[in-house]
Structure 1
Amino acid sequence: MNKHYSQMTEEELHDEILMLAQHIRVAKEANNEFELPILEQKMLLVKSHLVDQSMIHPGDLYAIDEEPGSTFRIHHLKGVFAWGNRNEESEMIGLILAKLGQKLESAPQE
């Protein structure tokens, strides 16, 4: 029986990352354009379960990985997603935690 990522230990998550990396390599070599995005999304999910959520707070501002110049201000966390605003726009979106880059600004302390 397969475990949910949320039920895996850190070691099991790292093993899953290694396995997915191998599958991604094979999919790229086979030029499998249908399987590759699914595997890449799974990889983001696994990596998101390794993020220390105690270090992420509403009001924090982050760069977004692989999106130079884009920022993301956190409104709240739900599971492995941060909800907030990209580039200070009014529309609220969800962003998987693994896509958070460098913290640019911490929320003001009360």
Structure 2
Amino acid sequence: MERRFSDMSQEELRQEIADLTEKAQKAEQFGMVNEFAVHERKIIMAKSYMINPRDFGPGELYEIEGDPENTFYIQYMNGVFAWGYRRNQAGVKVTEESEEALPISMLGQKIENK
């Protein structure tokens, strides 16, 4: 039975990320796109549990890994998820929903609010 990421130590998380990375590479090599995507999402979640959520807070703005056109404005935190919305380079909200959640490992460098 698989253990939850929240129950794993930092070393166990590192090993799990290494295992998932290997599985993702194999899935990519064999053209198994869906399986590759599942492993990639699990890696993102595992990495989130290696980051302290207290380092993030409401009112902060971050770059988004894999989305250089937008930034992410945090409205509130819930565990390893930052809830808020995406903003474009002009500072306009681009998220259609009132809010979305991103695992904190998807957040890049903090941007100083202007």
TM-score between the two structures when normalised by the length of structure 2? 0.86
Q: Are the counterparts in 1 of residues 53 and 79 from structure 2 also a CA contact under 8 Å?
A: no
Report how many aligned residue pairs link the two structures.
106
Listed as ranges, the gaps of 5+ residues in structure 2 are none
RMSD: 1.5
Identity of aligned residues (%): 35
Q: Which runs of structure 1 show a deviation greater than 3 angstroms over 4 or more consecutive aligned residues?
A: none
Task: Give the CA deviation at 1:105.
Answer: 2.1
Listed as ranges, the gaps of 5+ residues in structure 1 are none
Alignment pair present for 1:39 and 2:39 = yes
Task: Give the CA deviation at 1:55.
Answer: 1.1
Q: Give the Cα–Cα distance (whole angstroms) in 2 for the partners of residues 100 and 34 of structure 1.
A: 23
Q: Give the Cα–Cα distance (whole angstroms) in 2 for the partners of residues 58 and 21 of structure 1.
A: 32
Q: Give the Cα–Cα distance (whole angstroms) in 2 for the partners of residues 33 and 47 of structure 1.
A: 21
Q: Give the Cα–Cα distance (whole angstroms) in 2 for the partners of residues 95 and 26 of structure 1.
A: 26
1:74-110: CA deviations, max 9, x gaps? 111112210012105273111111110100127xxxx
